[in-house]
Structure 1
Amino acid sequence: MSPLLRIRAERDRMSAIERRVADFLLENAHLLRDYSSQQLASALGISQSSVVKFSQKLGYKGYPDLKYSIVQAAARPDGEAAADVAPTATHPLGALADALWELKSQAEAATRLINSPEQIDAIARAIRQAGKVYVIGLGEDGIPARAFATRLSMLGVLTVHYVDAALMQAGVCNAVDDDVLFVFSEHGQQPTLCQIARRVRERGGHVVTVTRHTPNPLRAHAALPLLISAHDGRRHVEPLLYQSAVLHLLDLIFVLLCETSDGHRRTLDENLDHMQDLLDG
């Protein structure tokens, strides 16, 4: 695994000092050859031992091994670190588009790494076996929630989608064994969503949470958590990376459901045909 991709994937679980080291390495990978551990520590205002511990936490013997691995990755023209070098384009808009595409690709790759294939399989299996799938997301989290609920409905899955927590509280009173609740919440802090998740668990249902890769109250209620890794220092960019990574992960689950169930795929084809008939009419 690329060291830069590993750093991005693990960043959410790092301490404040570790995140400072991580951000410096991600932003300056192509310059790291000239930095000793002491120089890096001085640049960040931390101790040299913190740099060494950071390297060892990532599975390296020490900082020299980590530095060598990052320098090698940065030197590959088609490698993970290619996006850390300013993109070339004949028009500024082209450079901006290339940079945004690379950032989204990195977020999607890091997110894929922290959600194991076994976890994705388990979620798809839970959906196939569910009598009902409840879906909720508040605010901006409601955007991917609505899109995912619509796609499940197109597959013939009985889907209950609410954008109001109070209505969902009432709705999950009808939850039974093997029903599934999808809860979308970037930071996982809303107490009402935790209450809804707890209620579904008490009724024997499965709770799937979609949150950032950070410890949070909502994630603690999940039998099947989906974790998102997406970072950028610009407040207008980071939400775009998060949403892109969420949608990519949901697309993967949707395609898996289609590929593993002839029934779902037939129902989707029928629904698409009906919709086209309505449009043509």
Structure 2
Amino acid sequence: MNPLELIQHNFDSFTKTEEIIAAYVLNDPKDFARAPIETTVEACGTSKAAMIRFAKKLGYNGYAELKYELSRFLIRSSYTNPEDKTEPDQTIQSITNYYCQAIHQINETVTIEQVRTMAKQICHARRVKILAINRTSLAAQQLQMRMLKIGIDSDSINDTVMMNDAINMMNEKDYCLIFTIKDNGKHYQERIANLNDNGCPIGLVTMAALPFASQCRDVINLPPVSKGYAKFIDEQAIYFVFVEILLSELAKIAELDQMALKNS
């Protein structure tokens, strides 16, 4: 069952508090999937602990997994199958339509407040390191090059040995940004623990509900790409669009900082 069906199926077993949360989710699932937990808690008049208990009662490991699964369900239910065409030769239209739909779903999973918070951390950090392995390293390199054009120095690192060296030198004045589509803990779980030991703030941009996401200061959940609809679609298109969104906010903050410096 999808998350909404699970809520409806278990509704009779909910406490009064859980009924309030359930009604909120069923009434506006997109808002629940998109809003930070603080906003949802305030809207329901509950607590973070109540939200976590509610998610676990539905069978999820926690609140983050519930939000992720709900986001994924909403995204998939809004897609049309680009391979299901009555016309035999619609390759260009099918692929471009799918990319447009996938990119548009960023509006459903990411808020501008999340982007601005991450942008402020990057602008005001002493050093910025962007960690990315395999294909996500392309988006990381793009972000590094584009940030340099607006006066923000950073390093994108895709070598695991160099990652460890960089992490050992980072502290509370720095910012570490991690790009990963889906990580099973092999690459980043231990490294995130080391960054936290050093007091370094961490930003995570992912397409999956990762167990170590709660250990990161800022988390951006990009919409997952469903391979069932289009096996040739690459997640990197979503990451590159997110890079443009982040750069827009970085440029605004950098300009404001320069104006403040001139007036001081």
Counterpart check, 1:224 vs 2:208: no
- Using the alignment, how far apart are the partners of 2:78 and 2:188 within structure 1? 38
Aligned equivalent of 2:126: 131
Give secondary structure in 2 for the equivalent of 1:248.
Answer: helix
Distance 1:219 1:248, change over 3 A: same
Note if contact 1:177-1:205 (Cα within 8 Å) is conserved in structure 2. Answer: yes
Counting only pairs closer than 5 Å after superposition, residues 155-234 of structure 1 correspond to structure 2 as: 155-212=150-207, 214-229=208-223, 230-234=225-229
Aligned equivalent of 1:243: 236
Residue 145 of structure 1: which of 140, 144, 167 is its match?
Answer: 140
Paired amino acid for 1:189: N
Aligned equivalent of 1:107: 102
Note if contact 1:108-1:248 (Cα within 8 Å) is conserved in structure 2. Answer: yes
Paired amino acid for 2:93: D
- Using the alignment, how far apart are the partners of 2:2 and 2:179 within structure 1? 28
- Using the alignment, how far apart are the partners of 2:79 and 2:128 within structure 1? 41
Distance 1:234 1:171, change over 3 A: same
Give secondary structure in 1 for the equivalent of 2:105.
Answer: helix
Q: Percent identity?
A: 12
How far does residue 201 in structure 1 lie from its aligned partner after superposition? 2.2
Counterpart check, 1:257 vs 2:257: no
Paired amino acid for 1:134: K
Note if contact 1:112-1:249 (Cα within 8 Å) is conserved in structure 2. Answer: no
How far does residue 192 in structure 1 lie from its aligned partner after superposition? 3.3
With the length of structure 1 as denominator, give the TM-score of the two structures: 0.59
Give secondary structure in 2 for the equivalent of 1:59.
Answer: helix
Task: Note the alpha carbon deviations across 1:122-165, whole angstroms, 9 max, x for none.
Answer: 00110111111101111112121121122223322221221111
Note if contact 2:172-2:199 (Cα within 8 Å) is conserved in structure 1. Answer: yes
- Using the alignment, how far apart are the partners of 1:218 and 1:185 within structure 2? 12
Note if contact 2:119-2:253 (Cα within 8 Å) is conserved in structure 1. Answer: no
Aligned equivalent of 1:12: none
Stretches of structure 1 lacking an aligned partner (at least 5 in a row): 1-16, 23-48, 62-79, 267-281
Give secondary structure in 1 for the equivalent of 2:130.
Answer: strand
Paired amino acid for 2:177: F
After superposing the two structures, state which structure 1 stretch, 127-136 or 143-152, moved more.
143-152
- Using the alignment, how far apart are the partners of 2:253 and 2:85 within structure 1? 39
Give secondary structure in 1 for the equivalent of 2:176.
Answer: strand
Counting only pairs closer than 5 Å after superposition, residues 7-22 of structure 1 correspond to structure 2 as: 17-18=1-2
Aligned equivalent of 2:26: 59
Q: Which has the larger radius of gyration?
A: 1
Distance 1:206 1:82, change over 3 A: closer
Aligned equivalent of 2:63: none
With the length of structure 2 as denominator, give the TM-score of the two structures: 0.63
How far does residue 52 in structure 1 lie from its aligned partner after superposition? 5.8
After superposing the two structures, state which structure 1 stretch, 146-155 or 256-265, moved more.
256-265
Number of residues paired by the alignment?
Answer: 198
- Using the alignment, how far apart are the partners of 1:215 and 1:81 within structure 2? 20
- Using the alignment, how far apart are the partners of 1:107 and 1:265 within structure 2? 36
Note if contact 1:209-1:218 (Cα within 8 Å) is conserved in structure 2. Answer: no
Counting only pairs closer than 5 Å after superposition, residues 26-105 of structure 1 correspond to structure 2 as: 53=9, 59=26, 92=89, 95-105=90-100
Distance 1:82 1:189, change over 3 A: closer
Aligned equivalent of 2:15: none
- Using the alignment, how far apart are the partners of 1:82 and 1:127 within structure 2? 34
Note if contact 1:181-1:197 (Cα within 8 Å) is conserved in structure 2. Answer: no
How far does residue 50 in structure 1 lie from its aligned partner after superposition? 6.5
- Using the alignment, how far apart are the partners of 1:82 and 1:143 within structure 2? 26
What RMSD in Å do the two structures reach over aligned CA positions? 3.5
How far does residue 87 in structure 1 lie from its aligned partner after superposition? 7.0
